[in-house]
Amino acid sequence: MLLSVHLVPNASRTKIVSWREGILKIRLAAAPVENKANRALLRFLAKVFDLPPSRLSIVHGQTSKKKIVAIPLAEKELSEKLLKNDEMRRADPD
């Protein structure tokens, strides 16, 4: 599945902010320098979806805050994992 992600780099900590209209908004503690934010994003999403980071890839938006990430899950499974995830339950009502 392709997941739309809106990334906010240089946050105080990494967390999911919201998931609305098919877009996952994430605050990321990493800086957008030398691909650090992209690598941190993939590691974070791998943890959220309980997958190895090597199974995820950014297919669009390498240098943008708006990214498309390929995740090897069906839409229903992705939604279920997001809703059960601790990060999502602690998300701020944004």
> 19-30: per-residue pLDDT in tens?
888 899 999 999
As a whole number, the mean pLDDT across the chain is 89
pLDDT tens digits along 57-70:
999 999 999 999 99
Say what the pLDDT of residue 1 is: 92
Are 53 and 43 spatial neighbours (Cβ–Cβ below 8 Å)? Answer: yes
* Residue 66 vs residue 18, higher pLDDT: 66
**In order of start, what are the domains of the chain with their CATH numbers?**
2-89 (3.30.1200.10)
List the beta strands (DSSP E) in the chain: 2-8, 15-20, 23-27, 57-60, 66-70
Please give the model's pTM, rounded to 2 decimal places. 0.86
CB atoms within 10 A of CB 19: 17
